[in-house]
Amino acid sequence: MGAIKGARSMGSLTLRHAVILTPREVIPDGFVRIVDGAVAGVGPEPAEQGPDDVNVRGHLVAPGLVDVHIHGAGGYDVMSLKSRDLEGMAKFLACRGVTSFVPTTVSLPPEDIKRACTALISFMDSRPRGAARALGLHLEGPYISPARRGAHLAENLRAPDLGELRELLASCRGVIREVTIAPELPGAIDAIRLLSSSGVTVQLGHTDATFSQAMEALRAGATKFTHLFDAMRPFHHREPGTVGAALLSNAYVELIGDLVHVSPEAILLAYRVIGPRRLVLVSDATPAAGLPEGEYSFWGLSVVSRGGAAWIRGSNTLAGSASTLETDMANLYRVGIDISDAVGAATQNPAMSIGAHLKEGVGELRAGMRGDLVILNKELRVVASVVDGETVCGSL
């Protein structure tokens, strides 16, 4: 796909006559100006005209999408533990509107976690122009419940060990951004305290925790739930479980939007209870995302990609999604969620859930933030992407 006609690859760029989704404010006819890779201004028309103007003719302009739970896409796999796979994945994602992402591992031995950190550091140090930026590493496991492990290999699961965690935090040089943990495991509460005090976002997931165990973990420093409803103790009217804690707490709540992991009705129920500010849309994508439906092998599993999801072959167990955040955001809108809230769930909320709106300046459209934008049609499908103020993919 060609670049947006009239856009500059360096310097400044002004998108005009757009429906701006900041995402909490909607400007029906507005502009966004980017100078030297950062947003310099957002407001209603008329904007001062300049040689770098691009008339987007009423298309939607929103912050670049932020995917904080993604295992792979376009045939690229985080679990390869290689920086070149991260680079290929980052370029693939940028063309689908995802300008920031958190590569996510499945449960691994300690030495492989260190290798994942090394690969990510290498990619972050040499990220090419036009590639989505990585915000850190999400360890989904290995500190999760065997009873709710999903596609995670049982032999890699273990209870948290403070010595192991301290060594990982030191060797990974600050790139561990999120850790999913089952709070009912021995030592989990102390691990949550250590991780949260070290600036890591702690999520509760792949867990059989009761309501009281989940609430204790929140008091210890956990601030988020991993993919609501999936791989967690379900709601019961006499034991609300982890789902009940997620709905009633003030924590951020991930939700997979492929319409397979969670039904449209359950998505609407969660949205109405959680509200628009805590809902964090994630893809939970596997390497099968963006590829034709069929059979694939990754993580030591034989997987069937079908209908936007990846299934372990011969079972009813989901291995993750075969969808992208762009599609998931459009799904939210299609099932009845307000357009600003659907965009916010894929941009501002995920960024805020890990502090990336402050640290990296992503997820919002306002002066001083990163010049990462996505241009969308009325169905919330990506028309073009802008990363660091440079057009990446798409045409108008």
Q: Which pLDDT score is estimated for 129? A: 93
Spatial CA neighbour of 18 closest among 5, 8, 27: 27
Express each pLDDT in 311-320 by its tens digit: 999 998 999 9
Question: What span, in angstroms and rounded, lies between the C-alpha atoms of 161 and 189?
Answer: 11
Residue whose pair of structure tokens reads 């702690």 in the numeric block:
202
**Type of residue numbered 260:** V
Provide the greatest CA pair distance for the chain.
64
Overall average pLDDT of the 40-65 stretch: 91
Residue whose pair of structure tokens reads 């989901």 in the numeric block:
318
Q: Which pLDDT score is estimated for 300? A: 87
Helix (H, G, I), strand (E, B) or coil at 328: helix
Q: Does residue 282 contact residue 325 with C-beta atoms inside 8 Å? A: yes
pLDDT above 60: residue 290: yes
pLDDT above 70: residue 6: no
Q: Determine whether 53 is an active site residue.
A: no
Instruction: Read off the tokens for 192.
Output: 């949550």
Spatial CA neighbour of 23 closest among 388, 393, 387, 346: 346
Q: Which pLDDT score is estimated for 102? A: 98
Overall average pLDDT of the 224-237 stretch: 97
From residue 282, how far is each of 38, 124, 144 by CA, in Å? 25, 21, 19
Question: What span, in angstroms and rounded, lies between the C-alpha atoms of 245 and 183?
Answer: 12
**Helix, strand, coil tally for the chain in percent (to 5):** 30, 30, 40
Express each pLDDT in 158-213 by its tens digit: 999 999 999 999 999 999 999 999 999 999 999 999 999 999 999 999 999 999 99
Instruction: Read off the tokens for 98.
Output: 């995802």
CB atoms closer than 10 angstroms to residue 28: 10
Question: What span, in angstroms and rounded, lies between the C-alpha atoms of 14 and 4?
Answer: 12
Q: Which pLDDT score is estimated for 52? A: 85
Burial of 300 (C-beta count, 10 Å sphere; 0-12/13-18/19+): exposed
Residue 294: which pLDDT band, with cuts at 50, 70 and 90?
very high
All domains of the chain, ordered by start, with CATH? 12-62+366-394 (2.30.40.10), 65-359 (3.20.20.140)
Q: Which pLDDT score is estimated for 47? A: 74
**Type of residue numbered 328:** D
Q: Which pLDDT score is estimated for 394? A: 78
Spatial CA neighbour of 279 closest among 341, 221, 218: 341
Helices (H), the chain: 83-94, 110-125, 162-171, 188-197, 211-220, 241-248, 264-274, 325-334, 339-346, 348-353, 356-359
Q: Does residue 178 contact residue 102 with C-beta atoms inside 8 Å? A: yes
pLDDT above 50: residue 1: no
Q: For all residues of the chain together, what is the average pLDDT?
A: 94
Express each pLDDT in 121-154 by its tens digit: 999 999 999 999 999 999 999 999 999 998 899 9
Question: What span, in angstroms and rounded, lies between the C-alpha atoms of 5 and 193?
Answer: 51
Q: Which of 53, 208, 258, 284 is catalytic?
A: 284
